[in-house]
Amino acid sequence: MEEIRAATELPAIREEITLHTEDGQTLVGELAMPVGMNPVATLITLHPLPTHGGFMDSHLYRKAANRLPALIKVAVLRFNTRGTGSPRGVSTGSFDGGVAEEFDVAAAVKFCEDRGLKNLWLVGWSFGTELAIKYGPDHKVSGAILISPPLHRATDADLMRWNSFAKPLIALVPGEDDYLQPEEAAVRFALVPQAKVYGFEGEKHLWVGEKATRRALDAISELVVPGSAPLPTHY
Query: What is residue 72's predicted lDDT score, i.e. its pLDDT?
Result: 98
Query: What is residue 163's predicted lDDT score, i.e. its pLDDT?
Result: 98
Give the separation between CA 109 and CA 121, rounded to whole angstroms: 9
Query: What is residue 4's predicted lDDT score, i.e. its pLDDT?
Result: 98
Query: What is residue 230's predicted lDDT score, i.e. its pLDDT?
Result: 98
Q: Nearest 10 degrees: CA dihedral of 155, 160, 164, 168?
A: 80
29-74 pLDDT, tens digit each: 999 999 999 999 999 999 999 999 999 999 999 999 999 999 999 9
Extract the residue ranges of the chain whose pLDDT is less than 70.
Answer: none
Give the separation between CA 59 and CA 13, rounded to whole angstroms: 19
